[in-house]
Amino acid sequence: MSTVKTQYLGNAILVGLDKPEKRNAMDEQMIDELHAVLDDAVRGEPKILVLHSLVENVFVSGADISELINRNADSAMRSINAGLFEKLERFRWPTIAVINGYALGGGCELAMACDLRLASPRARFGQPELDLGILAGAGGNWRLPQLVGVAMARRLLYTGEIIDAEKALSCGLIDYVHEEGSLMEAALELAETISNRSWRALELTKLSLGLNRQPTTTLDIVAQALLFESDDKRTRMQAFLDRRKRS
């Protein structure tokens, strides 16, 4: 069954993540489906892409650890997650992430790959990768400090602290907080406001802003390849899976 549902609504394309049995943990199926959605959307009429979750109280809980535990250096060099987030970042027109729940690890990195982020008070953000013996290699090591500053990024990456929506707003990780009942409406209003601008000027502005990005992705990929082969990574991920079975 598809884990990604799309809906065209005016000048927006709604991309809904729908994998309730794994709390939207990202596996290769979801990643492949998101690639396909982006490939189709970029060939169509200009649209604002609105990325959201169809699963209650979660945006994306992170990568699917049951799949990640078996990834090796070759998998890291394929940049499975990072490649998708790079494509999302390069999408021709503006993108909006709508977060109504947990956005952890790869989920936080996915949200950061979007141009704008709206969240409800239920949203939570964090980068727990170091607990699993890996690093935030899909953009967290450079998108996070770009948004919140190096000091706050160190704090979140080193400690694995999970912050709420108000803290995320105050440090610049997200752009707006709206109550849960009005969150999607606010996202669509924002999409409509943006879509009233010149599409070509939006596209060129996004290209120009992209020139400011940090070129650290290659280092992250190589570092992740080294960590993916470590016994520490496998031990920590197995412990995570065992805890989840008991809960």
Indicate which residue of 67, 89, 109, 179 is catalytic: 109
149 sits in the region (left: phi over 0; alpha: psi -120 to 50; else beta) called left
Q: Which tokens hold the place of 126?
A: 């964090």
- Residue 129 bears catalytic tag: yes
Within 8 A by CB and 6+ apart from 128, the residues are 62, 104, 105, 160, 162
Of 162, 156, 161, nearest to 141 (Cα)?
156
Q: What are phi and psi of 11, to 5 degrees?
A: -95, 15
- Residue 86 bears catalytic tag: no
Within 8 A by CB and 6+ apart from 194, the residues are 48, 94, 202
Indicate which residue of 45, 67, 129, 203 is catalytic: 129
Taking the C-alpha atoms of residue 87 and residue 158, their distance in angstroms, rounded to an integer, is: 27
* Residues forming the active site: 109, 129
